[in-house]
Chains A and B, each alone.
Chain A
Amino acid sequence: MDLRIKNVRKDFDLTPALHDVSLDIASGELVALVGPSGSGKTTLLRLIAGLEQPNAGTVYFGQDDASRLSVQDRQVGFVFQHYALFKHMTVLQNVGFGLTVRPRGKRPTAREINERARSLIELVQLAGFEDRYPSQLSGGQRQRVALARAMAIEPKVLLLDEPFGALDAQVRKDLRRWLRELHDVTGHTTVFVTHDQEEAMELADRVVVMSRGRIEQVGAPDAIYDTPASAFVHRFIGESVELPVYIEGGMIRLDGIAIPLSAADEPDGPAALVFRPYDVAIDEVDRATYPGIAATVVASRWHGRGRRLELAVGAGGHSMEIDLPPDVAPPVDSTLSVWPTRWTLYRPSGASLSHPTPAAAASMVSPIQQMAVAQ
């Protein structure tokens, strides 16, 4: 079942929760919705499920205009952000519910329902909990019951609203892999919401980044990470450093001082210079030979497999953090010259300028090599 969302708008009490959102999801795709709290992820999911009606625009299920399909007809499995388990039913009854409410002709026998429910409960590793009530389960267990309940109806589309939100890191990892495998086996079209960008990048075929009711970017995880379409995506996906700069006659100035990056042909005006913490080169020895951005080391600490430096840069003392190989250890309070090797300029107009362009990036020397050259 492929889904098409066309120019959908949704207002709550006149404040828009979604503006003009369009998105195509291919049959069998696993798509992640990410974005800050309140960006409209749940609202989009509810619109697809039919729990909410758009104020404008259309949702298509295959060729069908979904506005003519009721919630029941859409056959979506929905896992709610807060589980919404039936409090007065046991785990077994919860999972079997979707089958017991089918019209008489299509309803499996009580025994079949029982078997189906039990096998799903086993699948989500809750065997032995069949007769418990939701109030007697932990958050993670409830989440898995909600998942099993949604899958029991063999949905054409599985919609998951933060399905792993309440789980600890280890279970989360297991379930993540389990969901991916399950998706590969069943081939359901799956859309899941997460605020964990790592989870989205690891699990999804495509990632949809949302902000303030709009889709900022849609793409494969790699593409989103490597070529963010906006400063917001750059900031939201992965770590980034951002400096407020001003462009004047093709020169980029930070606090009025030109830095050795060029933006030829760019119109004058303010911009945000954004780069990854590890896409930088430094020169500790001689500021005069490598006129980068003047920086003072504020702190230096271990981070992952390398070293993270906290710097104060420019005349304005902007704080920024960069990652360096562990063997480079400039002392605290020393001054450096720093410059990004891969960076993007984002203009307030929404335009952006990447340097080097993604294709050229592969041929660039790495920051470490550059440093060797510099010294």
Chain B
Amino acid sequence: MADLTVPSAPVIRSATTEAPATRIALVVAAFGFLSLFLFLPLVEVFLEALRNGPAAWLAAISEPDALAAIRLTLLVAAIAVPLNVVFGVAAAWAIAKFEFRGKAFLITLIDLPFSVSPVIAGLVYVILFGSGSLLGPWLKANGIEVLFAVPGIVLATVFVTFPFVARELIPLMQEQGSSEEEAALSLGASGWQTFWRVTLPNIRWGLLYGVLLCNARAMGEFGAVSVVSGHIRGLTNTMPLHIEILYNEYNFAASFAVASLLAGLALFTLLLKTLIELRFSGGLAPSRGH
């Protein structure tokens, strides 16, 4: 035994002496790539937005069409995010805590919005609700507008952002199992009490994380929304669509001003996410051992 451990020591040492150079090279490469492709463009957005001074920036984002776009974006997110929180929690719950046929299929289905191009998602809604579809005439007869109106935008956004909450929660809930829930039930708690007092507190950080990502995507979604919105200024333009219109009109300063709001949202989301992750590792990791 003693003979074996002695020769193995130099091997380990030589393995670690080589690493720093490689490590530094990798870190530099990663940082270089990220700053070139992510950080520089982001800085550029803010520089362009403020090129004509803060007053012009303020004017660009408080102009009526811009305000309407901001309002619509907030409205869509305010509907889509809660819906996907409910769907996501329900789907994650079903997948993590029950055994049923077609579970693998359900998981695949949840991932569908990630694998399908958002434009196609939008087109599906056009086919589903357009005037040529089965539903179209009925909707028209009842005065319900889906396409080129807020409901269509909400539907497209819900579709695109569906996986965020569910994907975040499934591994978390699977890892936690259902023993705490069973304990709560055996102690006399009802299903609701168990959910609110045991399940939810256990998944709260993961849930918040999923909500943040879902929200960021809901506000930033372009492709699917672009197909169903109809680009009606002041009515069905969300912020990303508004930015595109301004840009196409060579109104770069205004375009970048609104873009800077979205970029700001992204930075804010990242900040919150980092804070949650710090909290996550500090608060949950030690208790995972048992």
Contact = CB atoms under 8 A, between A and B. Distances in A.
Nearest to A133: B287
Interface in A73-101: 75-78, 80, 82-88, 97-98, 101
Interface residue tally of chain B, by bracket?
Answer: 20 to 34
Interface in A127-180: 133-135, 139, 142, 149-150, 152-153
A80 B188 contact: no
Contacts of B187: 97-98, 101, 149-150, 152-153
A49 B290 contact: no
B198 interface: yes
Contacts of A329: none
A97 B189 contact: yes
B193 interface: yes
A84 B180 contact: yes
Contact of B184 (A75, A97, A133): A97
A102 interface: yes
Contacts of A353: none
A72 B189 contact: yes
Nearest to B285: A135
A246 B287 CA distance: 57
Interface string B172-198: 000000011011111111100100011
A72 B190 contact: yes
Interface residues of A, number: 30
A361 interface: no
A135 B287 contact: yes
Contact of B186 (A77, A85, A87, A88): A77
A330 to B, nearest CB: 37
Main secondary structure on B side of the interface with A: helix
B193 A101 contact: yes
B180 A87 contact: yes
A351 interface: no
A51 B185 contact: yes
A71 interface: yes
B20 interface: no
Contacts of A101: 184, 187-190, 193, 197
A127 to B, nearest CB: 22
A277 to B, nearest CB: 36
Given A101-B193, A134-B287, A84 B188 contact: no
Nearest to A70: B185
A374 B184 CA distance: 66
A76 to B, nearest CB: 6
Contacts of B286: 135
B290 A102 contact: no
Nearest to A71: B185
Contacts of A83: 290
Contacts of B188: 72, 75, 98, 101-102, 153
A86 B183 contact: yes
Contacts of B179: 80, 82, 84
A86 B290 contact: no
Contacts of B290: 82-83, 134-135, 139, 142
A203 B198 CA distance: 34
A84 B183 contact: yes
Contacts of B269: none
Contact of A87 (B184, B193, B197, B287): B287
A51 B182 CA distance: 7
Contacts of B197: 97, 101
Contacts of A76: 186
A71 B188 CA distance: 7
Contacts of A152: 187
A267 B23 CA distance: 78
A77 to B, nearest CB: 7
Contacts of A88: 201-202
A80 B189 contact: no
B289 interface: yes
A242 B29 CA distance: 69
Of the candidates B197, B201, B290, the one having the most CB atoms from chain A within 10 angstroms of its own CB is B290
A86 B287 contact: no
Contact of B182 (A80, A97, A133, A142): A80
A204 to B, nearest CB: 22
A45 to B, nearest CB: 11
B183 A78 contact: yes
Contacts of B180: 84-87
Contacts of B186: 49-51, 71-72, 76-78, 150
Contacts of A139: 290
B102 to A, nearest CB: 16
Given A71-B186, A88-B202, A97-B189, 8 more contacts: A72-B189, A72-B190, A78-B182, A82-B290, A83-B290, A85-B183, A98-B188, A134-B287
Interface of B: 179-180, 182-190, 193, 197-198, 201-202, 286-287, 289-290
25 contacts: A50-B186, A72-B186, A72-B189, A76-B186, A77-B186, A78-B182, A80-B183, A82-B179, A83-B290, A85-B180, A85-B183, A86-B198, A87-B180, A87-B202, A88-B202, A98-B189, A101-B189, A101-B190, A101-B197, A102-B188, A133-B287, A142-B290, A150-B186, A152-B187, A153-B187
Interface of A: 49-51, 71-72, 75-78, 80, 82-88, 97-98, 101-102, 133-135, 139, 142, 149-150, 152-153
In order of increasing CB-CB distance, the 3 nearest A-B pairs are: A98-B187, A135-B287, A84-B179
